[in-house]
Chains A and B, each alone.
Chain A
Amino acid sequence: MEPILIEGTPKTPSVKFDSEKGVIEIKGRSIPENSIEFYKPLVDWLEYYAKNPLKKTLVNVQLEYFNTSSSKCILDVFKKLEAIHKANHDVIINWYYEEDDEDMLEAGEDYESIIRVPFKMIEIGD
């Protein structure tokens, strides 16, 4: 299946979804007024990928900012990953946050408590 490659903008993150490598990446800022438009194709892609996923899927989420509109869409992305994990495939979500950014760490922990997929919280130094 075709990968998704999207460049970042001031309001939307860069995205790399690669089914051949089993790597899913979302990085940058996610603060669009309406996040559904942006995330719908990503969720659809994952739904398709979930039918025949690799043994191991690695997810890297490294966000500098995200708004509450995006927070729901990110949960939708994670729910698709949870389904893959539930079907006995390895999924690991690396949640990156900057050293002093407790809010971003806490946001990751919120997702970790809702989604049944192993999370790894990774601090990025300056």
Chain B
Amino acid sequence: MSFNIREYFDKLSKGDVVLAYKGSITSDLINDVLEAVEKKLDEVNEEGKTRKKLYNVLVESLQNLYHHIEETHEGIEEELDPKFGVLVIAREDGEYKVITGNFVNSSKIKFLKEKIDKINSLNKDELKDMYKFILNHQKLSAKGGGGLGLVDIARKTGTKLVYSFYNYNDNYYFFNLEIKI
């Protein structure tokens, strides 16, 4: 059975959801999400440390989407907003979970998978070394991406990145990334 966005999103939106969004990932959207989440964390009086980690993860994961998302999705039959992405923040067993989803061109899967597997294989000190190496040796892309987002997320949360790729058609996979804070 092929991957269905609506079913995927409905499933994610169940449970203790802080925020669920699907649509264009723009700079304004990122501002709105960050502001809304800060307000909610204030309301529930969330601990400073958790608040900061969640905020950092949100910034990096949303900006990862923003930098890497495909502008348009050729050959995808469902009607999608340009720069389409999914963001869900949920609470589960006293922890926060940030889930992002976006279509990724099949040609990029291998690189992405290897990068995440590599990050997941490293311990705290190795992640620190990797972060510092990229920081010091890699140039920012024209869009301002630095290849550091996922490393930073893994380092700050201390948890493994959980991911899946759902095959959509010959050209696209849907990339689901789950981050526990």
The answer to the question of A113 belonging to the interface, with a C-beta cut-off of 8 Å to chain B, is yes
The one of B34, B140, B156 that contacts A72, using a Cβ cutoff of 8 Å? B140
Write out the residue numbers on chain B whose beta carbons fall within 8 Å of the beta carbon of A2.
Answer: none
Q: Tally of A-B residue pairs with Cβ under 8 A?
A: 73
| Majority SS at the chain A contact face | helix
Question: Taking each of B66, B67, B140, B156, which has the highest tally of chain A beta carbons within 10 Å of its own beta carbon?
Answer: B140
The answer to the question of A65 belonging to the interface, with a C-beta cut-off of 8 Å to chain B, is yes
Q: Is A68 a contact partner of B52 (Cβ separation < 8 A)?
A: no
The answer to the question of B168 belonging to the interface, with a C-beta cut-off of 8 Å to chain A, is no
Nearest CB on A from B33, distance (A): 12
Write out the residue numbers on chain B whose beta carbons fall within 8 Å of the beta carbon of A110.
Answer: 128, 131-132, 135
Q: Known A31-B59, A67-B63; judge A100-B152 contact (CB<8 A).
A: no
Contact with A along B18-57 (1 / 0, CB 8 A): 0000000001001100110000000000001100110110
Q: List 15 A-B contacts (CB under 8 A).
A: A10-B31, A10-B34, A33-B67, A34-B143, A37-B144, A65-B52, A68-B63, A68-B148, A68-B149, A72-B135, A75-B136, A100-B48, A100-B49, A101-B48, A110-B131
